[in-house]
Amino acid sequence: MDCIFIEELRVDAWVGIYPRERACQQTLEISMTFGVPDAAAQQDEITATIDYAEVIARIRKELAARHFNLLETLGEYVIALMLEEFGAPWVKISIAKMGIMPGVKRVGVTIERGKN
């Protein structure tokens, strides 16, 4: 399976359960890898693959418009978007809050899903 990866995408999002997290958006760092059709390499056409620019724009739009309590829920939302709307057969995503606690660089989740 061929894959596309996006690393260290910075996205402002509404996420968290604590009052300080609900008061303003947080910058998240997202890295993801997703499968693409084998036809992409054979046809050399953007229409045969998943356009990463569209993926990035859609993630930014969606995360700016809604609130998630948990990173886990946010991750599952993005994965569903990739599987259902973009047609990826497989997705792995890592999402991290940066500098959220003293002495901790990042706190986050990694989720991997595929179509059944």
Q: What b/e readout covers 33-44, taking b as 16+ CB neighbours within 10 angstroms?
A: bbbbbeebeeee
Q: Looking at the DSSP assignment, which residues form a beta bridge with residue 106?
A: 98
CATH ID of 2-114, from 3.30.565.10, 3.40.50.1170, 3.30.1130.10, 3.40.50.1370:
3.30.1130.10
Q: What is the pLDDT of residues 63-81, one digit of tens each?
A: 999 999 999 999 999 999 9
* pLDDT value at residue 108: 96
Q: What is the pLDDT of residues 27-66, one digit of tens each?
A: 999 999 999 988 777 888 888 899 999 999 999 999 999 9
Angle between helices 52-65 and 71-80 (to 10 degrees): 140
Rounded to two decimals, what is the model's pTM? 0.92
